[in-house]
Amino acid sequence: MSIKQISVFVENKPGAMCAMTAVLAENNIDMRALSLAETADFGIVRIIVDNVYTATTVLKDAGYIHSVTSVLGVRIPNVPGGVNKVLNILTEADVNVEYMYAFLGKKEKNHAYMIFRVQDDASATAALMAQGITTLNQDDIETF
């Protein structure tokens, strides 16, 4: 199971994020998750949206350079050590985590949600599911 993440390149200057999110807002694209990594000249905005096709189309039409990659969405037990449990499972399965970030999902008191960029989605998903950890797919994101 995997989710499509859009990585958008934006200039590192005042108003750049506002302009990019305005394009999405004007086209009724709902962001489910967002992460920003920056350098001196530009940033990479990683977003999970409700409609990948429309989002990539409007971003392209607005002149934004972007790419789409697969990431793993995971429902994490909302207890001390919940993230560590997931990371232990991935470590034991010899799955490398390149990066991760949290996001809001359905209002559940007992769970949190995270996005993981891993080298092998299938191996990670199999290892997590074998230990009773729920992974999400694109349909789950579209209905959040």
CATH of the domain at 88: 3.30.2130.10
Check whether 20 has a pLDDT greater than 70. Answer: yes
| Rounded average pLDDT over 30-59 | 92
Q: Are residues 61 and 100 in the same domain?
A: no
My answer on whether 76 and 130 are in the same domain is yes
28 and 54 belong to one structural domain: yes
- Kindly state whether residues 57 and 88 are assigned to the same domain: no
At residue 39, the pLDDT reads 78
Q: Is residue 16 located within the same domain as residue 32?
A: yes
Placement of tokens 């905005």 in the chain: 45
- C-beta contacts of 87-92 below 8 A and 24+ residues apart: 89/127, 89/128, 89/131, 89/133, 90/116, 90/118, 90/124, 90/127, 90/128, 92/127
**pLDDT computed for residue 40 by the predictor:** 78
- Phi, psi angle pair for 137, to nearest 5°: -120, 180
**pLDDT tens-digit readout, 80-137:** 999 999 999 999 999 999 999 988 766 666 778 899 999 889 999 999 999 999 999 8
Claim to verify: residue 74 and residue 124 sit in the same structural domain? yes
Q: Based on the structure, what is the number of domains in the chain?
A: 2
Show the domain range for 86. Answer: 70-143
**Whole-Å CA distances, 141 to 52, 59, 98:** 10, 19, 21
Are 7 and 25 found together in one domain? yes
